[in-house]
């Protein structure tokens, strides 16, 4: 497996399959159409790309710059990317950002583009400094800010930007893209594995591609079991078995299954709680009982996060499931 992991490490699929132009951006038609209109006029404003992670904000910024400046948009010094989550202080704004923005571009359109990724991670002081940089160097540099939470960007910056809202990606389009990657990489992947990857990624394309790549490091034939193995998560079948044992009143067998997951497989208690949450909706119980169990599961999650013993808290919850099962009978 080590050789496979080395090969995977040298081949980041997120970068390899990043869209090369605006035409390849998925599920963001409104944003893409607006950016294409900007390309026609070459009147590029400061822009704020807002939306959940993994929906194409950074990829769209790169695709826009490539369509605007050409294939060598980075090599020719027309584009620079800074991740604000790594360097979120005012010093970054004063040094890196200001240094890039103040340099007069050679040729091209007379301005450059700086992408400030995860800009909502900047401190307030850094944002106020950045606002002044935007004002001072707007003639030579256009700024694209990408943020998961646009409300964390101060109003003076938002008012200086054209705001583009990115929507979550559709399930069918994510699965279709994963199939295309699997085909190009010579992988065999079944429908259930794709469903599991989508469920774990929660609409984050970057996370979905990374999960697929990690699964490929274990096996070229990917099924549900491989995905669960690489993610370190418990399968739905195992969680369902525990809940069914609880409903049947088989408390010892249920305890053994929980201990196997926690101490043999090394499943994180929080991951087990998340898996239980997903399965609760499918139990053969009245809706009122499900609501009570969901409320209790939230309390168990909080207690574990505050230092409660995971096994004790989980067993207490499953005891309540057993009581609900007995009551429904």
What pLDDT, in 10s, does the model give residues 274-327?
Answer: 889 988 888 888 899 999 999 999 999 999 999 999 999 999 999 999 888 776
Distance CA(112)–CA(91), nearest Å, equals 21
Domains and their CATH numbers in the chain:
28-165 (3.40.50.300), 170-231 (1.10.8.60), 236-328 (1.20.272.10)
What pLDDT, in 10s, does the model give residues 53-111?
Answer: 999 999 999 999 999 999 999 988 899 998 877 665 667 677 788 888 888 777 778 89
List, edge to edge, every strand of the sheet that includes 112-117.
79-83, 112-117, 141-147, 47-50, 162-165
Q: Report the percent of the chain where pLDDT is more than 70.
A: 93
pTM (two decimals): 0.76
Contacts of 154 (CB under 8 A, 6+ apart): 124, 127, 128, 131
pLDDT at 6: 43
* φ and ψ of 303, to 5 deg: -60, -40
Note every long-range contact of 37-45, with CB atoms under 8 Å and residues 24 or more positions apart, other chains counting: 39/64, 39/67, 39/68, 42/68, 42/109, 44/68, 44/109, 44/111, 44/113, 44/142, 45/142, 45/161, 45/162
Decide if 101 contacts 114 (C-beta within 8 A).
yes
Q: What is the mean pLDDT of residues 251-262?
A: 90
Q: What is the mean pLDDT of residues 20-37?
A: 94
10 pLDDT exceeds 70?
A: no
pLDDT at 21: 93
């Amino acid at each position: 497996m080590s050789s496979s992991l080395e090969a995977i490490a040298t081949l980041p699929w997120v970068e390899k399959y990043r869209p090369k132009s605006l035409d390849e951006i998925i599920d963001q038609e409104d944003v893409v159409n607006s950016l294409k209109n900007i390309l026609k006029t070459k009147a590029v404003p400061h822009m704020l790309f807002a939306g959940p992670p993994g929906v194409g904000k950074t990829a769209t910024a790169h695709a826009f710059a490539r369509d605007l400046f050409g294939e060598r948009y980075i090599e020719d010094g027309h584009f620079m990317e800074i991740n604000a989550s790594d360097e979120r202080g005012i010093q970054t704004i004063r040094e890196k950002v200001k240094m890039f923005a103040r340099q007069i571009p050679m040729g091209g359109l007379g301005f450059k583009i700086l992408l400030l990724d995860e800009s909502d991670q900047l401190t307030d002081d850094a944002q106020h400094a950045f606002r002044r940089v935007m004002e001072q160097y707007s003639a030579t540099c256009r700024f694209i800010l990408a943020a998961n939470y646009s409300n964390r960007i101060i109003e003076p910056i938002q008012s200086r930007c054209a705001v583009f809202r990115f929507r979550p990606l559709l399930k069918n389009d994510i699965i279709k893209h994963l199939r295309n990657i699997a085909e190009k990489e010579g992988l065999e992947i079944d429908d259930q594995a794709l469903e599991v990857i989508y469920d774990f990624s929660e609409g984050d394309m970057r996370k979905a591609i990374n999960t697929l790549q990690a699964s490929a490091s274990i096996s070229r034939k990917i099924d549900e079991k491989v995905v669960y193995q690489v993610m370190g998560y418990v399968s739905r079948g195992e969680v369902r078995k525990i809940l069914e044992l609880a409903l049947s009143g088989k408390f010892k067998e249920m305890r053994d299954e929980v201990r196997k997951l926690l101490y043999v497989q090394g499943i994180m208690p929080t991951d087990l709680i998340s898996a239980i949450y997903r399965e609760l909706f499918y139990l053969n119980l009245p809706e009122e009982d499900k609501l009570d169990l969901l409320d209790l599961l939230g309390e168990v999650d909080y207690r574990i996060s505050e230092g409660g013993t995971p096994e004790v808290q989980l067993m207490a919850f499953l005891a309540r499931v057993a009581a609900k099962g007995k009551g429904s009978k």
